[in-house]
Chains A and B, each alone.
Chain A
């Protein structure tokens, strides 16, 4: 737990990027998220931790309206991205998702070439005027995804042919290619081996300089290593939210303490 001292040193307050107030999510009759209030800061890694089934993914999916694709899901409350309500009727979820990118638990590259995987987002959003610009975006994104050196000679190879860790970094590159402001990651390392996990964690730390990153993880060590803020969910409630160092060393709520010490979860 050496990392924790480092995290403590880096604590500083950034401006608020995403402000969530009184959020409720229902799946049919199930009340999956109850009265959650969270402020996601800019240029910060925020970790969501909690036992499985407590609603971490559900809440994360509210932030880019991915829950819209689930018929039975109903979202209430206010979610403000830079002060604008993302659930406003005039907001097109498609545009929102370009601004709030997402990386999923299981690496899910398209069964297309590495190049096309990254170029797809910029193409559909019209971010490049010509092939040269698109090439540039692809290279920049792959570099940010810390995978450029491994794939630069085989951009035409299928993305599905890469190893698990490479696939996940490709997915991160794909997500940053649309120039998002917030990056949501749902257990991005749970399908990866320790070495690939370390690579992705390093990458997350680098991404913090430009993006606001929200990461769901069930590894407390990971939360401690990569995040500055941590939110602990339990049974749909946000139990505790604060500086990562404080949550792990000096939790206020007894439930947080018992989860961290391994008594629940």
Chain B
């Protein structure tokens, strides 16, 4: 009232025109405009960092999904095979046959470079063995032309992806400068091509020398078994604990204490759970090291508080009138909870569980301590039960391992692994959103 009376002391507000904005109103409008600008700036900054993050992840990680392939047409006659099988060094014989084929292909196109056996091994690995295995598996292909797609070694791959160049490279047992002449010739001949790197998605980890052969498949399986353990333990335990605390437990000091502790547990650094897991599950209970079972148990401890907190929140959100209604027609407390409250809280519980699982899926620190990092997952577990107990890695642990390796070839693998991990996390979050939308009830 004060500003109005200041302008027209006698008549009060009525004489002030609505179209004439006074100083006070202008001030408020400006404050509002400024606040909006701050908000937009904050969102824009957030979006900017998100875009930077995604472009860097994609630009660094996409090359991991491509591999360099050297594609050579090769025909093995029955006579050649008999001859090679008669030799003392059989794979060497096959290798020589392959080199001859490659040489003639290059010659055909008028490219004259030296193709020696050692260089081929550096470029393509043990070609002879690969060819010999192929023909012993497919004897009917003898005599026909077969296109062999041989994965080029990581350094050659790096040469095409710009990681390795003539100026920066040093001669090593992996690649020598002179080999690059051969590589250039192969490229000119159109023998080199880029293919989708299936082995990266389906394969297992390789040795520290062989970034080209590294795949994330085995650790995806490891993560899967861990998540099974986490889901199987934390959902029932978490939901049962929340229902008890929310619906049945008396309100006293003891339950207050439990409540405070659960909230605190949610804030405990995950590495603490890791060392707890190491002490309890491995050193005391002697469960196998590096096993998804142990990883799952540790992550269960970590996920429980998240699930309990979100479950209790969704139970609280169910209106008390529903409980009264059920009790009023003579339902027992348990019937009221299980017939009415729990179904209404279910979407919230599921969403919380999925978010908890997504957190657990991306967790690395506790896995450091129970030996799931640095472990070379060279194969898939044999069978379902073995999946829980056989040593394995997990996606984030695998990424960490690759990032820590010396060979730069692993760098793009780590980024590629992050893309795969993000795909899993995003799909879990999308599922959570869909569930929430689909089952949300209004009352």
Contacts and interface: CB of A to CB of B under 8 A. Distances in A.
A94 B330 contact: yes
B329 A175 contact: yes
Nearest to A72: B251
A97 B443 contact: no
B344 A171 contact: no
A165 interface: no
11 contacts: A69-B327, A94-B331, A95-B330, A101-B328, A109-B325, A110-B322, A121-B329, A121-B331, A125-B330, A174-B329, A177-B329
A195 interface: no
A97 B335 CA distance: 14
Given A111-B344, A124-B335, A160-B443, A97 B325 contact: no
Interface string A88-108: 000000111110011110101
Given A102-B324, A171-B325, 10 more contacts: A64-B328, A94-B331, A96-B330, A97-B328, A97-B329, A97-B330, A108-B322, A109-B325, A121-B331, A124-B335
Contacts of A124: 329-331, 335, 339
A104 B329 contact: no
A69 B324 CA distance: 9
Contacts of B340: 110
A66 B329 contact: no
B162 to A, nearest CB: 60
Interface string B301-319: 0000000000000000001
B321 interface: yes
Nearest to B321: A108
Interface in B318-348: 319, 321-333, 335, 339-340, 344
B441 interface: yes
Contacts of A96: 330
A193 interface: no
Nearest to B325: A108
A111 B443 contact: yes
A178 interface: yes
B246 to A, nearest CB: 13
Contacts of B339: 120, 124
Nearest to A121: B329
Contacts of A109: 325
Chain B interface main SS type:
helix
Given A108-B322, A109-B325, A110-B325, A94 B251 contact: no
A108 B323 CA distance: 9
B330 A104 contact: no
Interface string B241-269: 00000000011000000000000000000
A170 to B, nearest CB: 11
Interface centre among B322, B325, B330 (most CB of A within 10 A): B330
A96 B443 CA distance: 28
Contacts of B441: 111
Contacts of A98: 329-330
B248 to A, nearest CB: 11
Contacts of A71: 250-251
Nearest to A107: B321
Nearest to B328: A102
Interface of A: 64, 66, 69, 71, 94-98, 101-104, 106, 108-111, 120-121, 124-125, 160, 171, 174-175, 177-178
Contacts of A66: 324, 327-328
Contacts of A120: 326, 329, 331, 339
Contacts of A110: 322, 325-326, 340
A11 to B, nearest CB: 30
3 smallest beta-carbon distances between A and B, as pairs: A98-B330, A121-B329, A108-B321
Contacts of A101: 328-330
A121 B340 CA distance: 13
Contacts of B443: 111, 160
B14 to A, nearest CB: 36
Contacts of A177: 329
B327 A97 contact: yes
Contact of A104 (B250, B251, B328, B331): B328
B327 A104 contact: no
Contacts of B324: 66, 102, 104, 108
A97 B328 CA distance: 6
B316 to A, nearest CB: 16
Contacts of A160: 442-443
B330 A121 contact: yes
A29 to B, nearest CB: 16
B347 to A, nearest CB: 12
A109 B340 CA distance: 11
A176 to B, nearest CB: 10
A103 B330 CA distance: 12
B330 A178 contact: yes
Interface in B332-382: 332-333, 335, 339-340, 344
A97 to B, nearest CB: 4
Contacts of A97: 327-330
Contact of B329 (A69, A106, A178): A178
Nearest to B441: A111
B210 to A, nearest CB: 59
Interface centre among A94, A106, A178 (most CB of B within 10 A): A94
Given A71-B251, A104-B321, A111-B344, A175 B335 contact: no
Given A111-B441, A120-B339, A160-B443, A104 B332 contact: no
A237 to B, nearest CB: 26
A106 B320 CA distance: 11
Interface in B169-195: none
A160 B250 CA distance: 31
